Amino acid sequence: MTGHILPVPDEMSAPYWDACSRHELKLAHCSQCAKVTHPPDVTCPNCHSIEPDFVWKQVSGHGRVRSWTVIRQSFLSGFELPFLLVDVELDDHPDVRLIGRLIDGADTPLTLGDAVTLTFDDLAPGVAVPAFVMAGKS
């Protein structure tokens, strides 16, 4: 696969991308108020602590489709067109919004609330981004 724009980890997001490369989804929990922040910022948006000292915890990756869009033209992605992007509400963290490609394909019939499971798209060696697959299928 070539042509992908690869994520560039910075100090804040490095643990996130690190986990992704191992096909694990980890989210930042503020050590002051325990709220999840995604993506993490230098301050906690919930309790406004300037020392959130984030703790990264793995999430189950089960979620439900909140909305979706078919991408027919893309200037950024190296994915084969068209593809489907789903906006997923995680069962564990309903306030976290995760967007990823639906592996099942652009023609997948979707209904609001469909169950999906987290998987990953490998973009390059050691670089992966979250993606989703319809639950109960592989």
Task: Give me the residues that bind Zn ion (CB under 5 A), please.
Answer: 30, 32-33, 44, 46-47, 49
* Amino acid code (one letter) for 60: S
Tell me how far, at minimum, the Cβ of 29 lies from Zn ion, in Å.
Answer: 9
| CB closer to Zn ion, 44 vs 116 | 44
| CB closer to Zn ion, 33 vs 81 | 33
Rounded Cα–Cα distance for residues 61 and 88 (Å): 10
Tell me how far, at minimum, the Cβ of 13 lies from Zn ion, in Å.
Answer: 17
| CB closer to Zn ion, 41 vs 91 | 41
Q: Is 3 exposed, middle or buried (0-12, 13-18, 19+ CB in 10 A)?
A: exposed
| CB closer to Zn ion, 45 vs 105 | 45
Tell me how far, at minimum, the Cβ of 56 lies from Zn ion, in Å.
Answer: 14
Tell me how far, at minimum, the Cβ of 44 lies from Zn ion, in Å.
Answer: 3
Question: What DSSP string describes 30-92?
Answer: -TTT--EESS--SS-TTT--S----EEEE---EEEEEEEEEES--SS--SPSSEEEEEEEESS
The DSSP element (H or E) to which 96 belongs, if any, is none
Which pair of tokens denotes residue 3? 């042509």
